[in-house]
Structure 1
Amino acid sequence: MEKVVFVQAMENFQLQVRFDDGVEGFVDCCDKLYGSAFEPLKDPVKFAQVGIDDFGAVCWPNGADLAPDAMHDDILNKQQKVAENPPQYGS
């Protein structure tokens, strides 16, 4: 399992993450901020308190955490879709 080695909160509840295998990208957390652990993170100040626990998972001081494998797969899937369908400019 890959571990998160860098995380930074961005605007609009996005996370920039980098994994120990070099995969890097953005994770949109807007649809993840529900339930008792995640509701408080709708406050941008609290969301910005993101960190990494001893197991390489993204976490917050209130105990909320995100599984690294799901984020890793999400980033790889997004990168694959872009590679398969690159943006068309100036047709």
Structure 2
Amino acid sequence: MPRLVSVKPNDSLKIFLRYEDGVEGHIDLSKTIDRNGFDELRDYSQFSKIYFDEHTDELCWPCGVRMCTNALYRQVSLLSLMNRLKISIDNV
């Protein structure tokens, strides 16, 4: 699986991910945050503290929330393909 090379948060609970193979894109984490009860991440001052743990290959926050970069890679890849094929997530 390609390694994550860059992660940048924005103020709408989205992150921009870039992987070493050139795959990149935005992921909206708002539903994941709601579904899993990660309420502390709704505060941008906490959400913006995201970092990449190279030892575990996970995205992490100081509050203890962790996310698998491999699963996020698959999401970014799929969203990128859907955009190229002009498929809307609303139509799926």
TM range (shorter): 0.7 to 0.9
Residue number in structure 2 paired with 1:16: 16
* Percent of aligned pairs with the same amino acid: 24
Q: Secondary structure at the match of 1:11?
A: coil
Structure 1 stretches of 4+ with a deviation exceeding 4 A read none
* Alpha-carbon separation, structure 2, partners of 1:60 and 1:43: 12
Residue number in structure 2 paired with 1:4: 4
Cα deviations by residue, 1:2-52 (Å, 9 ceiling, x for unpaired): 33221111121000111122211111000011335x221111110000000
Residue number in structure 2 paired with 1:89: none
For these two proteins, the number of residue pairs brought into alignment is 86
User: Residue type matched to 1:3 in 2?
Assistant: R
Q: TM-score, normalised by structure 1?
A: 0.82
Q: Which has the higher contact order (CA 8 A, sep 6+)?
A: 1
Matched ranges for 1:54-73 at <5 A:
54=54, 55-73=56-74
Q: TM-score, normalised by structure 2?
A: 0.81
Task: Show structure 2 runs of 5+ residues with no match.
Answer: 88-92
User: Contact 1:50–1:60 (CA<8 Å) still a contact in 2?
Assistant: yes
Q: Secondary structure at the match of 1:46?
A: helix
Task: Show structure 1 runs of 5+ residues with no match.
Answer: 87-91
Let me know the Cα RMSD of the aligned residues.
Answer: 1.9
